[in-house]
Amino acid sequence: MAVQTQLQTKPAQRFRRPRLTRLQLREALEGYLFISPWLVGLLAFTLGPIVLSFALSFTAWQISAPPIWIGLDNYTELFQDPTMYKSLYNTIYLAVLGVPLSMVLALGIAMLMNQGVRGISIFRTIWFLPSVLSSVAVAVLWSWILNPRYGLLNRALALVGIDGPGWLTEPEWAKPAVILMGLWGVGGSMVIYLAGLKGIPQHLYEAAKLDGAGEWAQFRHVTLPMLSPTIFFNLITSVIGSLQVFVSIAAITMGASWGGGVSRAGGPDDSLLVFMLYLYRQAFGFFRMGYASALAWFLAAIIMALTIINFQLAKRWVYYEGQLRGRQ
């Protein structure tokens, strides 16, 4: 009986968590103390505002008065707001056209920068520099370049007999102008692609050459599959960034060219009124913090849904080491 009792108690003793020693407790305490500034910042400036914005999305708050609980009225108004749909359309337009163009251009530049020629590091630096410049400074620079009267781009087009359009003053050309401006900053994605290209084993290309594969076949059957995780990472970050675009367009549209003021921002005929700019207008132009919070959570839901869809689709085309077509 005693032996049976002892056998029954052994498994419980075997999986019992050992007690922490005084030294381990001290090390754990010191670790939490070292990261406490980050924890305080996370709670005060990230998690706290996120939770607060979710609560405010169910209220009507004009800042000058206490918030009033209105339930789902903000979300009901959101789906009935034609300006919201226009801002969402502008955002999707920029994302659908801008993301593929920027990814293809960044990959092409990365493949050029992957060549082992003398002085290639200088060219890599030149391509990367625009991506680390201030977004406001870049927006002001491009507003000068795209100026319809004395801008460098229209001056260059005039030299070949082309009458350049009013890039930022005509509704039909405003969004293409912003996409063109965004292509100037593909250096960040280019560096990520370049790191992925450096990680592709050279013996795969040698084996492909022995099998008679040409340059295009090597790119299609070696480079793209091996680079697919990097492409997927850039796709996710580019989609999220394009849906949250704000600073560059705000710097362009809040100037005196469009009448000034937050409530007037949006470009000609609101052709550049993207979702984040409309959110900013509601929050700091009309001081409708509750409605702005609802807009923020609506955008967060869209980003989350698109990210989940991309992860599901990635199983069909993203190749990881030790996996077949993205599946184990």
Axis-axis angle for helices 224-243, 82-113 (nearest 10): 150
pLDDT of residue 17: 63
Retrieve residue 308's tokens. Answer: 């989940």
Asked if residue 243 has pLDDT above 90, the reply is yes
Predicted pLDDT at 256: 40
Exposed, middle or buried by CB within 10 Å (0-12, 13-18, 19+), for 105?
middle
276 neighbors 254 (Cβ within 8 angstroms): no
Is the pLDDT score of 266 beyond 70? yes
Q: Which of 178, 328, 310 is CA-nearest to residue 240?
A: 310
pLDDT of residue 268: 83
- What is the mean predicted confidence (pLDDT) over 133-160? 89
Domains of the chain with bracketed CATH: 21-73 (no CATH), 74-317 (1.10.3720.10)
What pLDDT score does 303 carry?
96
Among the listed ranges 13-27, 114-128, 174-188, 292-306, which one has the minimum average pLDDT value?
A: 13-27
Q: Tell me how far apart the alpha carbons of residues 266 and 84 are, in angstroms, rounded to a whole number.
A: 12
Q: Sorting pLDDT into bands at 50, 70 and 90, what band is 295?
A: very high
User: CB pairs under 8 A, 24+ apart, for 302-310?
Assistant: 302/243, 303/239, 303/240, 303/243, 303/244, 306/239, 306/243, 307/236, 307/239, 307/240, 310/232, 310/235, 310/236, 310/239
**Residue, of 3 and 171, whose pLDDT is higher:** 171
More confident residue, 284 or 2: 284
Please, which contacts does 63-69 make with residues 24 or more away whose CB atoms are closer than 8 Å?
63/287, 63/289, 64/287, 67/289, 67/290
Is residue 232 scored above 60 in pLDDT? yes
Q: What pLDDT does residue 20 have?
A: 72
pTM assigned to the model: 0.83
pLDDT tier, 258 (very low <50, low <70, confident <90, very high otherwise): very low
pLDDT at 322: 62
- Say what the pLDDT of residue 84 is: 95
Q: Can you tell me which residue has the tokens 């003053």?
A: 169
Where are the extended beta strands (E) located within 9-78?
59-60, 68-69
Question: Residue 149 pLDDT > 70, yes or no?
Answer: yes
- Given a contact cutoff of 8 angstroms between Cβ atoms, the answer to whether 179 and 189 are in contact is no
> 235 and 325 in contact (C-beta within 8 Å)?
no
What string of DSSP letters covers 92-157?
Answer: HHHHHHHHHHHHHHHHHHHHHHTS--TTHHHHHHHHHGGGGS-HHHHHHHHHHHT-TTT-HHHHHH
Please, which residues have CB within 8 angstroms of residue 181's CB and are 6 or more apart in sequence? Answer: 138, 139, 142, 146, 248
pLDDT > 90: percent of the chain: 60
Q: Does the pLDDT value for residue 130 go beyond 70?
A: yes
DSSP codes of every residue in 176-218:
HHHHHHHHTTTHHHHHHHHHHHHTS-HHHHHHHHHTT--HHHH
Q: How far apart are CA 140 and CA 154, in angstroms?
A: 17
pLDDT at 7 over 70: no
* pLDDT (0 to 100) of residue 35: 93
Render pLDDT for 28-77 as a digit per residue (tens, 0 to 9). Answer: 899 899 999 999 999 889 999 999 999 999 999 988 889 999 999 999 99
Mean local confidence (pLDDT), 271-293: 93
pLDDT at 51: 93
Strand pairing partners for 68?
A: 60
